[in-house]
Structure 1
Amino acid sequence: MGFNTSLSGLRASNADLNVTSNNIANTGTTGFKESRAEFADIFMGGTYGVANNAVGSGARTADVAQQFKQGNIDNTGNTLDVAISGNGFFNVSNNGNALYTRSGNFQMDADGNVVTPDGYNLQVFAPNEDGATVSTASMTNLKLSTTDSSPNPTSSVSANVTLPANASAPAVATFDPANANSYNYSTSVTVYDSLGVSHVMTMYYVKTANANEWQQYTAIDGTSVSATPTTLTYSDSGKLLSPANGTISLDGYTPASGAGSLSISMQVGDSSQYGEAFAVNDLSQDGYAAGSLSKFEIAADGMVYASYNNGNKKLLGQIALTNFNNKQGLQPQGNNCWAATTSAGTPRTGAPGSSDFGSTQSGALEASTVDLTEQLVNMIVAQRNFQANAKMITTQDEITQTVINISR
């Protein structure tokens, strides 16, 4: 019996050394969670339970429990490196099999899919048709589109100008865009057609003989887009009175590029008549040309965007995180991944930064939680335990040999 008891101690110490060895081996493994060997004593029970004077029968390995504490966040500068600060696991798919990982060292494969080094697809919430929100009802593979951003034709122009209150009517009574003496002021903005070709829209301001009244003429590439000028009327305090809704609907303009007709609405509600100088306070439009991909961005809430050199951003999805009530119930699968089990509880999936989920940080990785100094101390302790149990076997062997010699 004594030999078996000491043998169980050897097995326990050996398991402790194996766990420590595995921890040390994974000191540099991204997202690794250190393990701890946990032991239980053994008592041989009888019909009526364990007797009061019973001697234990050794030890056994009760569990190898992984410690899911937060690892240090190390900056890498690589956009596709993502760290989780707080609770949650990345969702990855191995040919349809759901796995979970804390290792965010993702990369792009030949088809543009974001994958782990072992080829598991990162799962995200897919964007809705509005291009600004996501649907959390289901997840899909994250794919980084490298195609150009399609152009967006201009549909609205905002012209916030200040017209001088002391202006006089121009010297030439008949407006002619080619004659600067037929208008007081002008300003231009670049607009885009459906093919992404740029055009110059110019607004001309002509002071009439009536107080607080101006006429605005508008042209694109020198072609008038207003059959008649728009009358701008201001109050004696400089506020715009007409058009009452502050909107000018311009006539359609068909570009020579072969693009569709441009139909533009101009917002002038913020314009005013003050002071003695003409000023352009804001001049903007909502169109843009075609753009090429410049970079990918991952926000703290897990939103993944493709940014283009035309200033446009396209939402590609939102990284999904999953949490469990009992993380230690997860089944290790290797390759820095775990699988769900019934003992881990029902998976709860949500967006980073919501509920009890942590936030994501792009350009960073979560380091291994292994403390090398602590593991070296554990190794010494396990080694001493192993030596003590081995010495116990040697001692019992000597006693047994002495008894045998006495009996001769």
Structure 2
Amino acid sequence: MINSLFIAETGLNAQKTLVDVISNNIANVNTSGFKRSSVNFVDLIYKNDSTGATNSSTTESSRGVHVQNISEDLSVGKLKFTQHPFDVAIDGPGFIPVENGNNGTAYTRLGRLAIDSDGYLQTQQGHRLSANISISPDLSEVVIENNGTVIGRVAGSAETVELGTIELVSFTNASGLEKQDSGIYLATEDSGDVIYGMPGEDGFGNIRQGYTEESNVSLVEEMVNLVMAQRGYQLNARVIQVSDQLLETINNLRR
């Protein structure tokens, strides 16, 4: 009876985490480039060695559930046409490397770019692109091709200038990246080696100028998941309530 209380407690905590994660997914359904998260659970297993001997058989029994980790779905969201010349989306796998202050290099899929005070392309969050692409005020138009090449057209003439190339990177295990605020990721030991490449090459998506990547959250799916998680929470709360009532009945019988 006591075990049922503790098992239900682990269920409550797990379902609360699930509700929080799903709620965050729903809240960011319209956030550009947002990647949905999911919760992975594991059983809490208790091993009992009845004899104490190292070579004896053991019995296992469940002691509830535990949140193993919260993973992120890095699948590509739908592309939205914005017509803004400094909006770029990656149509396929890959990340754009950006400067991250004293912490070295960071990575992002949020391609809403702007020009910083020194004339360089940066993300709207203030991270300059590692490619160090400078946009002169003398240019009347900037074209970003599918292969990442950035071309400027000189005002008042047909002359064009190649300004640089937006390169992409991938990882042997992208799910091991450490997520930061504003769609920024940091490499970790779990993410493995950084693989550099050009847009359109094998393993890398194309660059699409004038597009942004939408959230990959399915509102209908998340609403269904939320109902299921809330029901799971209610059932675990009910187990605690019933267990408490049974314990009270047992105590009354002893009097």
Which residue in 2 is equivalent to 1:83? 89
Matches within 5 A, 1:70-109: 70-96=76-102, 97-109=104-116
- Which of 337, 342, 348 is residue 184 of structure 2 equivalent to? 337
Deviations 1:261-310 (A, max 9, x none): xxxxxxxxxxxxxxxxxxxxxxxxxxxxxxxx211110000001111131
Rounded Cα–Cα distance in structure 2 between residues aligned with 1:340 and 1:28: 26
Which residue in 1 is equivalent to 2:9? 7
Rounded Cα–Cα distance in structure 2 between residues aligned with 1:33 and 1:66: 6
Residue ranges of structure 2 left out of the alignment (5+ in a row): none
- Which of 121, 142, 145 is residue 136 of structure 2 equivalent to? 145
Which residue in 2 is equivalent to 1:46? 48
- Code of the aligned partner of 1:70: V
Which residue in 2 is equivalent to 1:110? 117
Which residue in 2 is equivalent to 1:197? none
Number of corresponding residues: 246
Matches within 5 A, 1:388-399: 388-399=235-246
Q: What secondary structure does 2:190 align onto?
A: helix
Rounded Cα–Cα distance in structure 1 between residues aligned with 2:177 and 2:28: 19
Change (3 A) 1:62 1:50: farther
Rounded Cα–Cα distance in structure 2 between residues aligned with 1:81 and 1:399: 62
Rounded Cα–Cα distance in structure 2 between residues aligned with 1:123 and 1:80: 16
Matches within 5 A, 1:8-407: 8-47=10-49, 51-52=58-59, 54-96=60-102, 97-124=104-131, 141-147=132-138, 293-308=139-154, 309-407=156-254
State the 1:123 CA deviation: 2.1
- Code of the aligned partner of 1:390: A
Rounded Cα–Cα distance in structure 1 between residues aligned with 2:68 and 2:228: 18
State the 1:51 CA deviation: 4.1
Rounded Cα–Cα distance in structure 2 between residues aligned with 1:123 and 1:314: 20
| Percent of residue pairs bearing the same amino acid type | 33
Deviations 1:29-53 (A, max 9, x none): 111111111101111123469844x
Normalised to the residue count of structure 1, the TM-score between the two structures is: 0.58
CA contact (8 A) 1:44 1:50 kept: no
Q: What secondary structure does 2:175 align onto?
A: helix
CA contact (8 A) 1:39 1:63 kept: yes
Rounded Cα–Cα distance in structure 2 between residues aligned with 1:35 and 1:4: 27
The structure with the larger Rg is 1
After superposition, the CA RMSD in angstroms is 1.5
- Code of the aligned partner of 2:162: L
Change (3 A) 1:121 1:50: farther
State the 1:17 CA deviation: 0.4
- Code of the aligned partner of 2:133: L
Q: What secondary structure does 1:45 align onto?
A: strand
Change (3 A) 1:110 1:382: same
Rounded Cα–Cα distance in structure 2 between residues aligned with 1:50 and 1:36: 36
Deviations 1:123-153 (A, max 9, x none): 22xxxxxxxxxxxxxxxx2221224xxxxxx
CA contact (8 A) 1:32 1:102 kept: no
- Code of the aligned partner of 1:324: F
- Following TM superposition, the consecutive aligned residue runs of length 4 or more in structure 1 with deviations greater than 2 angstroms are 46-52
Rounded Cα–Cα distance in structure 2 between residues aligned with 1:143 and 1:404: 78
Rounded Cα–Cα distance in structure 2 between residues aligned with 1:27 and 1:50: 50
- Code of the aligned partner of 1:340: A
- Code of the aligned partner of 1:38: N
Rounded Cα–Cα distance in structure 2 between residues aligned with 1:108 and 1:404: 73
Q: What secondary structure does 1:56 align onto?
A: strand
CA contact (8 A) 1:41 1:60 kept: yes
State the 1:66 CA deviation: 0.5
Q: What secondary structure does 1:57 align onto?
A: strand
Normalised to the residue count of structure 2, the TM-score between the two structures is: 0.92
